[in-house]
Amino acid sequence: MTAVLGEERQQVIQLARDFAREHIAPHAARWDAEKHFDRATIDRLGALGFLGMLVPEEYDGLGLDTETYLLAVEEIAAADASIAVSVAVHNSLPTQMLLRHGSAAQKERWLKPMARGELLGAFALSEADAGSDAAGLRARAVRSGDGWVLNGAKAWVSNGGTADVILAMVRTDPEGAPRGSRGIGCFVIPAGSPGLAAGKPEDKMGLRASNTSALFFEELRLGDAHLLGDASSGFIYALEALDNGRMGIAAQACGIARAALEHATRYAAERRQFGRQIKDFEAIQFKLADMATRLSAARALLHEAARRKDAGERATRWAAMAKLCCSEAAMWIASQAVQVFGGYGFMRDYPVERLMRDAKATEIYEGTSEIQRLVIGRELLNSH
217 lies in the same domain as 267: no
- End-to-end, the C-alpha distance of the chain in Å comes to 32
Same domain, 148 and 187: yes
Task: Give tens-digit pLDDT for 100-135.
Answer: 999 999 999 999 999 999 999 999 999 999 888 888
Domain end (from 115, 130, 158) = 115
Kindly compute the dihedral angle of the four CA atoms of residues 119, 120, 121, 122, in this order, to the nearest 10 degrees: -150
- Asked which of 94, 115, 136 is the last residue of a domain, the reply is 115
CB neighbour burial string for 233-253, b if at least 16 within 10 angstroms, e if fewer:
bbbbbbebbbbbbbbbbbbbb
Q: What is the spatial distance between Cα 29 and Cα 222, in angstroms, rounded to a whole number? A: 40
**Domain housing 205:** 121-232
Q: Assess whether 111 and 125 both reside in one domain.
A: no
- Going by C-alpha positions, the residue among 115, 111, 113, 136 that lies closest to residue 126 is 136
Do 309 and 318 form a contact (C-beta atoms < 8 A)? yes
Tell whether 260 and 355 lie within a shared domain: yes
How many domains does the chain divide into?
3
Cα pseudo-dihedral 320, 321, 322, 325, rounded to 10: 120
pTM of the model: 0.95
Q: In whole angstroms, how far apart are CA 106 and each of 72, 79, 138, 216?
A: 27, 34, 26, 23
DSSP one-letter string for 95-128:
HHHHHHH--HHHIIIIIHHHHTTSS-EEEE--BT
CATH number at residue 214: 2.40.110.10
Residue 356 sits in a domain whose CATH number is 1.20.140.10
DSSP, collapsed to helix, strand or coil, labels residue 158 as strand
Render each residue's pLDDT in the chain as its tens digit; 384 residues. Answer: 333 468 889 999 999 999 999 999 999 999 999 999 999 999 999 999 999 999 999 999 999 999 999 999 999 999 999 999 999 999 999 999 999 999 999 999 999 999 999 999 999 999 999 888 888 899 999 999 989 999 999 999 999 999 999 999 999 998 877 788 899 999 999 999 999 999 999 999 999 999 999 999 999 999 999 999 999 999 999 999 999 999 999 999 999 999 999 999 999 999 999 999 999 999 999 999 999 999 999 999 999 999 999 999 999 999 999 999 999 999 999 999 999 999 999 999 999 999 999 999 999 999 999 999 999 999 999 987
Q: Is there a single domain that holds both residue 176 and residue 74?
A: no
Sign of CA pseudo-dihedral 309, 355, 123, 173: positive
In the residue annotation, 366 being an active-site residue is answered as yes
For residues 216 and 241, state if they share a domain.
no
Q: What interhelical angle do 316-341 and 234-270 show, nearest 10?
A: 30
Reduced to 3 states (helix: H, G, I; strand: E, B; else coil), residue 143 is: strand
- Do 191 and 253 fall into the same domain? no
One domain for residues 84 and 151:
no
Largest distance between two CA atoms of the chain: 80
Residue 100 and residue 197 in one domain? no
Check: CB of residue 87 under 8 Å from CB of residue 54: no
* One-character DSSP codes across 44-58: HHHHTTTTSTTS-GG
Residues 377 and 240 grouped into a single domain? yes
- CATH number of the CATH domain containing 26: 1.10.540.10
Which one of the listed residues 313, 366, 370, 379 is annotated catalytic? 366
What pLDDT sits at residue 179?
Answer: 84
**pLDDT for the residue numbered 2:** 37
Backbone angles phi, psi at 214, to 5 degrees: -80, 155
Give the per-residue SS3 of 173-226. Answer: CCCCCCCHHHHEEEEEEECCCCCEEECCCCCCCCCCCCCEEEEEEEEEEEEHHH
Nearest C-alpha neighbor of 201 from the set 193, 191, 210, 188: 210
Same-domain check for residues 160 and 198:
yes
* Domain-ending residue, one of 179, 202, 232: 232
Please tell me the distance from the alpha carbon of residue 372 to that of residue 129, in angstroms, as a whole number. Answer: 19
Q: What is the pLDDT of residue 5?
A: 65
Q: Please give the DSSP secondary-structure letter assigned to residue 299.
A: H
SS3 170: strand
Same structural domain, 360 and 245: yes
